[in-house]
A and B are shown apart, each in its own frame.
Chain A
Amino acid sequence: MVHQHFKLIEVFTVLDNIILGAEDTKLGFVQRKAARKKVEELSKRYGLNVDLDAKVENITVGMQQRVEILKMLYRDNEILIFDEPTAVLTPQEIVELMQIMKGLAKEGKSILFISHKLNEIMEVSDRVSVLRKGKYIGTVNTQDTTAAELSRMMVGHDVQLVVDKAPAQPGETVLKVTDLHVASRLYKHDAVKGVSFEVRKGEIVCIAGIDGNGQSELVFGLSGLEKCSGGKIEINGVDITHAPIRKRSEAGISHIPEDRHKHGLVLDFTLEQNFVLQTFEQPRFQHMGFIKFGDIRKYSERLIEEYDVRSGQGSITMARSMSGGNQQKAIIAREIDRDLPLLLAVQPTRGLDVGAIENIHRQIVAQRDEGKAVLLVSLELDEVMNLSDRILVMYEGEIVGELDPKQTTVEELGLYMAGAKRQDRKKEASA
């Protein structure tokens, strides 16, 4: 089984990772030489190129995936399970993986491919079984079905796969970022190296890129979770580069964070407490330091009603006990309802089902149409292509391209994301 999150030991070599759990031993000693020969044979036969002596922490995600596949082949398994294997790959790596999977099937292996990405399912599978809310819905032959039909089976009603939206009408600049540098938490170098861009009223700007190319740090820099080591951030002309988080929030950033458990909610607070995390200090929720519980309850009930946040006990539900989709809805309700000029949405649909995704996309577009500036950070290419009015591609901490989603293709976007192609933005700006 290839797990969604790879099950690899980072400090072990590739070879050790492959044989771990199925080691051949002589007198208790691991026989690495024989194992190496077998792995080399397998990797040649299936075209899975890996560096056996490298440590897993130093190899690319694509190679880690090949290691996972080799792990299964080393055990002579006949049934291979892939659990959302494409989430962390570039489009090129996805194509490569699809070819490997087809090759394996040809060799006589059975493959169980778990995914919610319809285009991948349509491309690679022979038969599709749909599960919805833990129930088996049905099995169809891929040839006889369409993406629309599959999504209907997945959600239970018709889903618009493409977001309907009018052309953007950008107004004046809301967010202006100039030459921003943010240090990486893990390493000594900067994770964001001199990024400049603008987001204007009434447009959705999307930052695309493969996970780990500085997007998270950029968002941390903007939201104040991490100090900027250089550059300037302005909101409506106000410099907030060194402002504390609360000041930024008051200056006009609403933030849907990447990790809803870590930065979005206090999991052991109730839903209503989570709704007023940033606003409880305002006079409408407190008087002389005492919290007006009645008003908070009323506010919370309104949000639950308006944004259809479902939970076991309404306002007094513990955030921890809610489903991921409803937790996300709660965060979106809170952030959108604060009605601030800039919406910073980081992977707002991560881990949600097709129905919830559609709903969230619609709300983001609605925000744009109301004249908000939206900065969307996403790893999902479909989301990037569908939702954005402008795409900025980040690679190794820099913005390497600015694309128009109407004129570009997923393949071109992939080349930028992998660093194979880049625009010289500074030259363009001056020209």
Chain B
Amino acid sequence: MPFLIRQTLVYAVPLMLVALAGVFAERSGIINLALEGIMIFGAFMGVLFVRTVQEWGWFQPAYDAGNILGLQGFCFLAMLFAAAMGALFSLLLAFAAINLKADQTIGGTALNLLAPAVVLFFIRIIANQNTLNMYKGDAASWFMLKKSMFGYGRKEEMNFLGSTFVDKVYVATYICILVFIVMSIILYKTRFGMRLRSCGENPQASASLGINVVKMRYAGTVISGALAGMGGFVYVLTTANCSANGDVAGFGFLALAVMIFGNWKPLNICLAALLFGLFKCVAASYSTLDINGDGVYLLKNLNINTNIYRMLPYVITLIVLAFTSKSSRAPKAEGIPYDPGKR
């Protein structure tokens, strides 16, 4: 059970963060189909940052001394860097969609095509192979919290809460949850959030009240890019051992599905992400999944073709969307280039 919850969170948290990224863009009126591409780009940049800084040896003393705080700070810096790069990348979409009034769907698709290609190109140059790894060691040894850090021995077990939320987890996951909460509050309780949401519903009305729609849409898209970039890096950090290979397994699109399923509302998205995270977790680790801790691998013993489990998150996405997308309500003005002269 602790394993199941922990693993679900590992998948669900980047998913909800990226879905929130989608919300910020769409609520300001820009369809951000490029989430996948931004995630890939952010993941690559985050890993590159970690690799380069390791190469310079800045955090080596902290690692040697077992300084947890220092290493987590390093990880946090990488997240910030990935977010900044994601924001930068999303400016491409913002420029095309807002200044050039391009079709946002096509613009997003173009970025989705661009990101893996560019990333792979640079990975080949830098690492001379198809995967960019850390310079030294692995994610678990550098960034993961372990029970040994809290004075537990190899044979000792932490209590339920400890083994679920402390042992073998990444602090990055909790930072993402915090960011998710803060950004949700900003979206609903502040002047900025209120104005942003108005731009996705009726930009002409917003403009008539003196709100700068172009600025708001830029803000929405850039925040979206930052969140997606951070989500991308956290995803590869926690599931791919901090290595980038120009792929995030369709997580960006899954996040779009979560966003639609969650009806563009943070709380619903949170729940939807947990649901998808659970299935993704089952898909990834069904064979070693011991649900009630009695040593019986129930799912494995069912003898169902492994591919069925792997398909699960995606099939569930299809089914859930088929049933819910009818009643969900997208921001009214999303996808429509802002034209001040239109009434």
Using a CB–CB distance below 8 Å, which chain A residues touch chain B?
A: 1, 3-12, 16, 20-23, 25, 28-30, 71
Contact = CB atoms under 8 A, between A and B. Distances in A.
Contacts of A5: 343
9 contacts: A3-B208, A5-B343, A7-B205, A9-B201, A9-B202, A10-B201, A21-B206, A22-B209, A23-B194
A1 B207 CA distance: 13
B292 to A, nearest CB: 44
Nearest to B193: A30
Q: Is the interface of B mostly helix, strand, loop or mixed?
A: helix
Nearest to B333: A9
Nearest to A11: B201
Contact of A8 (B194, B205, B329, B343): B205
Chain A CB within 10 Å, residue with most, of B186, B209, B211: B209
Contacts of A30: 189-191, 194
Chain A CB within 10 Å, residue with most, of B197, B198, B206: B198
Contacts of A8: 202, 205
A21 B202 CA distance: 13
A367 B251 CA distance: 64
B195 interface: yes
Nearest to B185: A29
Contact of B198 (A1, A20, A22, A71): A20
Given A5-B343, A8-B202, A23 B209 contact: no
A71 B209 CA distance: 9
A11 B333 CA distance: 12
A39 to B, nearest CB: 15
B201 A21 contact: no
A1 B208 contact: yes
A25 B201 contact: no
B211 A12 contact: no
A20 B190 contact: no
B121 interface: no
Contact of B209 (A4, A7, A11, A29): A7
Chain B CB within 10 Å, residue with most, of A8, A9, A11, A23: A9
B208 A7 contact: yes
Given A7-B209, A10-B332, A23 B201 contact: no
Contact of A25 (B190, B205, B209): B190
A285 to B, nearest CB: 36
A12 B189 contact: no
A21 B211 contact: yes
B72 interface: no
Interface string B9-40: 00000000000000000000000000000000
A21 B189 contact: no
Contacts of B58: none
B331 to A, nearest CB: 8
A21 B210 contact: yes
A12 B343 contact: no
B184 interface: no
Nearest to B207: A7
B192 interface: yes
A23 to B, nearest CB: 5
A30 B189 CA distance: 6
A9 B186 CA distance: 19
B268 interface: no
A345 to B, nearest CB: 24
B195 A21 contact: yes
**Which are the 7 A-B pairs with shortest beta-carbon distances?**
A21-B209, A7-B205, A7-B208, A23-B191, A9-B201, A28-B190, A25-B191
B195 to A, nearest CB: 7
A9 B202 CA distance: 6
A22 B194 CA distance: 11
Contacts of B130: none
A24 to B, nearest CB: 9
A53 B210 CA distance: 24
B204 interface: yes
Contact of B192 (A3, A6, A28): A28
Contacts of A9: 197-198, 201-202, 205-206
A306 to B, nearest CB: 33
A387 to B, nearest CB: 28
A20 B201 contact: no
Contacts of A11: 201, 329, 332
A4 B329 CA distance: 26
Interface in B272-299: none
A21 B209 CA distance: 5
A118 B123 CA distance: 73
A28 B205 contact: no
Contacts of B205: 6-9
Given A12-B198, A28-B186, A30-B190, 14 more contacts: A3-B208, A3-B343, A4-B343, A7-B202, A7-B205, A8-B205, A9-B198, A9-B206, A10-B332, A20-B206, A29-B189, A29-B190, A30-B189, A30-B191
Contacts of B201: 9-12
A8 B211 CA distance: 13
B135 to A, nearest CB: 40
B333 to A, nearest CB: 10
A52 to B, nearest CB: 15
Interface in B116-167: none
Contacts of A4: 343
A262 to B, nearest CB: 15
Contacts of B192: 28
A73 B189 CA distance: 24
A365 B97 CA distance: 50
A20 B208 contact: no
Contacts of B202: 7-10
A5 B204 CA distance: 10
Nearest to B210: A21
Nearest to A3: B208
A25 B209 CA distance: 17
A28 B188 CA distance: 11
Contacts of A16: 194
A12 to B, nearest CB: 7
Nearest to A5: B343
B27 to A, nearest CB: 10
Contacts of A7: 202, 204-205, 208-209
A71 B329 CA distance: 26
Contacts of B206: 9, 20-21
A8 B204 CA distance: 9
Interface string B203-228: 01110111100000000000000000
